[in-house]
Copies of this chain bind each other. A is one copy, B any other.
Amino acid sequence: MHLSERLRVSDDGWRLVETGWDADRAPHVGTNFLCGNGYLGYRGTSPEHTADDLVALVVTDTYDTVGDGWQELVTAPNPLLVAATVDGSPIGVATAERVETSLDLRIGEFGARFAQRVDHALVEVDVRRVASYDDLHLLTQRWQLQADADVEVDLVDGVDGVVWSLHGDHFRTVDLDDRDGTIVAEARTVEHDVRVVVAAASTRHGGESTEVDPVVEPRRRFRRHRVRLPAGTPLVVDTVAAVVTSNDVDDPGDVAPALARRGRAEGHEQLLSSTTDAWRRIWDDLDVVVEGHLADQTTLRFSAYHHRICTPAHTDHLPIGARGLSCQGYQNAAFWDQEVYNLPALWLSEPHLARNLLVYRHRTLDGARRKAERLGYRGAYYAWMSTDTGDDVCPDVFFVDVLSGRPIRNHFNDWQMHISPDLATTVARYVEITGDERFLVDHGAEIAFEVARFLHSFVLYDEVRGTYHCIRLLGPDEWHENVDDNAFTNHQAHDALAFAVDTHERLAADHPVALEQLRDRIGLTDDEVAAWARVRDRIALPEPDPDTGLIEQFRGFFELEDVTPEQVRARLLDPGEYWGWPNGVAVPTQVSKQADVVMLLWLHGDRFESKILDANYHYYAPRCAHFSTLSHPAHGMVAVRIGELDRALAHLRTTATVDLLSTAPSVVGGTFIGGIHTAACSGALQVAVQGFGGLGFADGRLVVDPALPSAWTALEYPVAWRGHHLRVRIGSDGSVSIESHADNPGPVEVVVRGEPVTVEPGARAAA
């Protein structure tokens, strides 16, 4: 069935197929049909493409800054270039007659098929490409051409070191070499002299080669093949590429070519097979099955796929970039999205990956400490945009006032302080759900204490009222900067402080030695802990109005002009205007970029009565312009909770198709912001599993409290919890069955709609 005019899904719910080639859509296709594995990402571009077509092989852990530019990962030299002319005509998707590109979600296989008429012959090309999940350094690509008449093919393949890069040329040098048929590019980064080595080992089958010549250009090294190809016979170029950097091994210049050659020896089919096995294991923990609606099923799988390939599963010292490895967008940095969107979609399916991300946050505490100190605070003020060191890479200026051409100083980096309590409360929930006390002792406690320390230094005390306040900040609704006592932020801060105090108490009781060591190391005193408790008890917590039930987004919000997003849009003098602070059209109004009271209800809904959720959802939703892809999943979660299931499904669909339907722009104010919306992907999973699927956790037990939208006849999802693997299935009649894996260590109690159900290993229980 079709998702849009050009895009359809296969009947098995595993393949996405884009028909035709459209230069405007190409940046989106390149993003959507990304191959990746958490170590690298290779965009869904055709093998003949170059930098102008936004080809990118983005490699993790290669953060680099050029001059005054912004830090970002490097785009490595492209080892998969294959470009051909047939009888003198260049062949490619842009000039072809029939083009189909595709992504097979089951194994992350990019495909391109196209036909092109040249002179007397019809030429057909078929491309398959996979990023290995068996060896994360490997990519394998099969390029195949045949024609219905004898043709002369002039072919180049090799490494293209002329790359697309957003913020400067990250290579001080690029050395290219052909080592016994393996083309090797060794690039050295500007800032830290990281060696990024790419090796391409290719084989050619079919046709009759008349000549093979080296092609050497600046930053490029190819082999040129002139091939006579008889009608109806295939010409195949298999390329196995390896990417290794000096952050991975000491000698990437040796390792990469060796890996590529070994991969070539194994062959494309074998690499495909081992990756298929790896993906099968991944999908066991990942696949959410939706019955009754093929499009929902497929878009959810698409979300799960990208959710997984953006996650650096192989390491605990790297973040999830807001655009993953799909490009250099958003500087490949983690935001609070990682803790609020990505990570909770992992902690009941692949909790060790959630742990990795939190260990990363612990490793970057020093960066957060530096930020706090620089801004005059104590403890850990986490980076708004965090890369490898945890120092904030968010620039002071990133928007331009299109009316004046002047830069706008936004304060995302220095005022958006909910990032720190967001992290601490995520640690709290991770520990609560997983029971990972070791993590708490080794990592979580230090995060909790340093965040509490930061909060204590951030809040200001109103002596007359006897209350602590968060002053001058911006909440999730980034259009309204410079506000006080943002409801979401203050509740998060409250919980972060409570967590720190509780953790201190818990460690004092259960891990006194570890606590003492930690206290010594960070110089923590009892006075500080007492202060945290005091702030926790007296921080201003915006409460629902007793009459209307409404929670004010921040102090004074309800005094702002009450207009709709459409009315505000009509005031734009230029469609490219920034709507937000300091003087965009939304600033004097209640129109939000994303509704942070809805965020509050999502994360803290259990502290409010249902009618409060209802009143606030219905107040804030129509005043929200949803200019962030983070917005719809939050709305979806709350809509499920108040029983508005069709609205919730609409929010889910908007979330899961933002990239597929290209509803978000690629470029804003001259800045490329394209690439996959990783938080939306994980957010879609949360709405499905934790929203409709009702998967949760309370009082030490798993909870399943589901409610399916009418369009779905069944929902099934995997659960991994404290060594147990379950599958939960919800039928259209509301029936819930829970299957416990035979290898599970013992019975599991799950609370289904308030009733405890116990499932034995290997058994299935219905409720």
Contact = CB atoms under 8 A, between A and B. Distances in A.
Interface of A: 378, 401, 403-406, 408-409, 456-457, 459-464, 469, 471-472, 482, 531, 573, 581-583, 588
A406 B464 contact: no
Q: State the 10 A-B residue pairs at the shortest beta-carbon distance, nearest first.
A: A460-B460, A582-B582, A461-B461, A457-B464, A403-B404, A403-B403, A582-B583, A461-B463, A471-B471, A460-B462
Given A378-B464, A457-B464, 7 more contacts: A404-B573, A406-B583, A460-B460, A461-B461, A461-B463, A581-B582, A582-B583
A411 to B, nearest CB: 10
Given A401-B583, A403-B404, A582-B583, A460 B456 contact: no
Contact of A461 (B408, B457, B460): B460
Nearest to A456: B464
A472 B469 contact: no
Number of copies of chain A assembled together: 2
Contact of A409 (B469, B573, B588): B588
Nearest to A375: B556
Nearest to A577: B404
Contacts of A469: 460
A552 to B, nearest CB: 13
Contacts of A588: 409
A469 B376 CA distance: 14
Contacts of A464: 378, 456-457
A55 B44 CA distance: 75
A525 to B, nearest CB: 12
A243 to B, nearest CB: 41
A378 to B, nearest CB: 6
A531 B460 contact: no
Given A471-B472, A472-B472, A482-B482, A583 B460 contact: no
A588 B588 CA distance: 22
Nearest to A484: B472
Given A582-B583, A588-B409, A531 B404 contact: no
22 contacts: A401-B583, A403-B403, A403-B404, A404-B583, A405-B573, A406-B583, A408-B583, A409-B588, A456-B463, A457-B462, A459-B463, A460-B462, A461-B461, A461-B462, A463-B531, A471-B471, A471-B472, A472-B472, A472-B482, A581-B582, A582-B583, A583-B583
Residue of A401, A573, A582 contacting most chain B CB atoms (<10 Å)? A582
A461 B461 CA distance: 5
A557 to B, nearest CB: 14
A531 B409 CA distance: 38
A540 to B, nearest CB: 12
Contacts of A461: 460-463
**Which of A408, A459, A460, A471 is packed against the most chain B CB atoms within 10 Å?**
A460
Nearest to A581: B582
A247 to B, nearest CB: 34
Most chain B CB within 10 A, of A408, A463, A482, is at A463
A413 to B, nearest CB: 14
Contacts of A573: 404-405
A480 to B, nearest CB: 13
Contacts of A531: 463
A460 B462 CA distance: 5
A581 to B, nearest CB: 8
Contacts of A463: 456, 459, 461, 531
Nearest to A406: B583
A505 to B, nearest CB: 21
A406 B409 CA distance: 19
Contacts of A406: 583
A482 B583 CA distance: 14
A471 B471 CA distance: 9
A583 B399 CA distance: 13
A401 B456 CA distance: 39
A401 B573 CA distance: 13
